[in-house]
């Protein structure tokens, strides 16, 4: 990832408007800041959330709370708990997220 056109900035996430994105089940609540060529998000998945699509976008994801299950299209499954992260480039490993308990993530893409 090459970060370009991003000035120094501080984010108070409680002031960033929240958008709701339904999954196959459950919902994702996003707080999103876009700066230069970077999208930065605080995402909360409800209990029982299952993504409604395979994502091919690159991300760096840090789990802050809860348990995140990430399935890759190749069939492998990765379970992340608070303090764990993953990273993936664009178009390398299509993936989708789910959580039984709910999860809160910090995502840069």
pLDDT tens-digit profile of 9-68? 999 999 999 999 999 999 999 999 999 999 999 999 999 999 999 999 999 999 999 999
> For the sheet containing 77-80, what is the strand order?
49-50, 95-99, 68-72, 77-80
CATH 3.40.50.261 corresponds to the domain 41-108: no
Query: H helices then E strands: how many in the chain?
Result: 0, 10
- How much is the pTM? 0.93
Q: pLDDT by residue (tens digit) across 92-103? A: 999 999 999 999
User: Domain residues of the chain, as ranges?
Assistant: 41-108
Q: pLDDT by residue (tens digit) across 22-36? A: 999 999 999 999 999
Cβ partners under 8 Å of residue 40, min gap 6: 11, 32, 33, 34, 106, 107, 108
Calpha distance 100→109 (Å, rounded): 24
């Amino acid at each position: 990832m090459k970060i370009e056109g991003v000035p120094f900035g501080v984010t108070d996430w409680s002031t960033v408007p929240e958008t709701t994105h339904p999954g196959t089940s459950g919902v994702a609540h996003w707080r999103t800041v876009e700066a230069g060529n970077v999208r930065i998000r605080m995402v909360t998945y409800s209990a029982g959330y299952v993504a409604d699509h395979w994502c091919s976008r690159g991300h760096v994801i840090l789990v802050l709370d809860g348990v995140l299950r990430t399935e890759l299209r190749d069939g492998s499954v990765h379970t992340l708990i608070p303090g764990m992260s993953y990273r993936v480039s664009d178009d390398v490993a299509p993936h989708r997220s789910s959580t039984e308990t709910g999860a809160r993530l910090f995502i840069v893409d």
